[in-house]
Amino acid sequence: MLHSRLMRYIDEVARAGSMRQAAERLGIASSAINRQILAFEEELGVAVFERLSNGVRLTAAGELLVEHIRATMKDHSRTISRISDLKTLRRTRINVATLEALTADVLAPVVSAWHMAYPLTHITLMAMPADSIALAVGGGEAQFGLGFDLPPQPNLKVYSSTRCSVGLVVGPDHPLASRSSVRASDLAGHPFALPAPGLTLRTIFDRLTRRSRLAIEPMVESNSIDLLKRLARLSGLATVLTRADVELERLGGTLTFVPIISEEISWQTLVILHRNTAQLSGLTMRFAEKLADVIQQIGDGGVSSRSFPDR
């Protein structure tokens, strides 16, 4: 039977090309390594190494054996890592503070895929106003904050960020749904349900209509992104949101996101925050990586460096 210690000896000798050098790296006597390899060769009935005056080299049988050893050691390492993950799963709790609008379109797919891979992890998603997210992370209530244009805090760091364009959101049967993009003039004459005054999205839209001299009186105003999406889907009203707000519906074909071409239309920055001094487990950091990958896919770029404090 090929034991793990013997596998390590054979692998190291094959890499070093010398019993002596392998022994120095492993911190044991070369005679001990040679004795175990000779015993194994006798059991195997074939030489693993060809002994040379200046070292050793693998025989054809040895090359096959070392290929097997390295694959086995890699599988062993991967299995040990997964077992280690299992040991910590029950202790791993991930808390995310975010906007209500991002729970379904951004976080739900990430959490669903994560649960399939790590079913014992406990995840808490806390929906709250944007100005409360940074406070929740800074105060230790959440390990991560996810939101648009979150205010900076001295004890927080941006892990990842992406720009999300603001555009027209309509149902698939809307007259503008088939357009690849629209201009401000294309919006005239269409009924709107708009974000409430004071929200960043409404400020961006009002700036667009004011500069373009458009008179658009919304039929509905609301601070609920979910309501605006539902109205766009069910009533034929148009609204203005970011692509991140409607990613789930866009992929499902129930809503269409149409970019607005205008110098007045800007974007919102979607960011993942964490506390500078937070002690995060390997699984928790892996969750952040998965979340960062998703927001980059739905954004327009602007990746920040991903780093965590030393553990």
256 and 178, same domain (yes or no): yes
122 and 247, same domain (yes or no): no
Q: For residue 112, give the nearest of 282, 290, 285 by alpha carbon.
A: 290
182 and 134, same domain (yes or no): no
Q: Which residues pair with 169 in a beta bridge?
A: 239, 257
Confidence label for 37 from pLDDT (cuts 50, 70 and 90)? very high
Helix (H) or strand (E) holding 37: helix 30-44
218 and 247, same domain (yes or no): yes
143 domain-assigned = yes
231 and 214, same domain (yes or no): yes
215 and 227, same domain (yes or no): yes
102 and 197, same domain (yes or no): no
251 domain-assigned = yes
304 domain-assigned = no
308 domain-assigned = no
* Domain end point (choices 67, 88, 109): 88
Tokens of 310: 């030393």
Question: What is the domain-level CATH number for residue 213?
Answer: 3.40.190.290
pLDDT for the residue numbered 1: 46
Q: Which pTM value belongs to this model? A: 0.63
Measured CA to CA, the distance from residue 18 to residue 30 in angstroms comes to 9
Over pLDDT 90: what percentage of the chain?
A: 53
Q: What is the pLDDT of residues 74-105, one digit of tens each?
A: 888 777 766 666 555 556 789 999 998 888 87
48 and 83, same domain (yes or no): yes
Measured CA to CA, the distance from residue 273 to residue 281 in angstroms comes to 16
pLDDT greater than 60 at residue 265: yes
310 domain-assigned = no
Check: CB of residue 175 under 8 Å from CB of residue 189. Answer: no
306 domain-assigned = no
234 and 147, same domain (yes or no): no
- Which of 41-45, 151-155, 217-221, 293-297 has the least mean pLDDT? 151-155
Question: What is the domain-level CATH number for residue 103?
Answer: 3.40.190.10
- Is 79 strand, coil or helix? helix
Check: CB of residue 221 under 8 Å from CB of residue 210. Answer: no
237 and 171, same domain (yes or no): yes
146 and 285, same domain (yes or no): yes
Length of the chain: 311
Q: What is the pLDDT of residues 289-303, one digit of tens each?
A: 999 999 988 887 554
Q: What is the pLDDT of residues 61-75, one digit of tens each?
A: 999 999 999 998 888
305 domain-assigned = no
309 domain-assigned = no
pLDDT for the residue numbered 82: 65
174 and 263, same domain (yes or no): yes
* Domain end point (choices 27, 58, 88): 88
How confident is the prediction for the chain on average, in pLDDT?
87
Question: What is the domain-level CATH number for residue 63?
Answer: 1.10.10.10
What is the domain extent for residue 66? 4-88
Domain count, the chain: 3
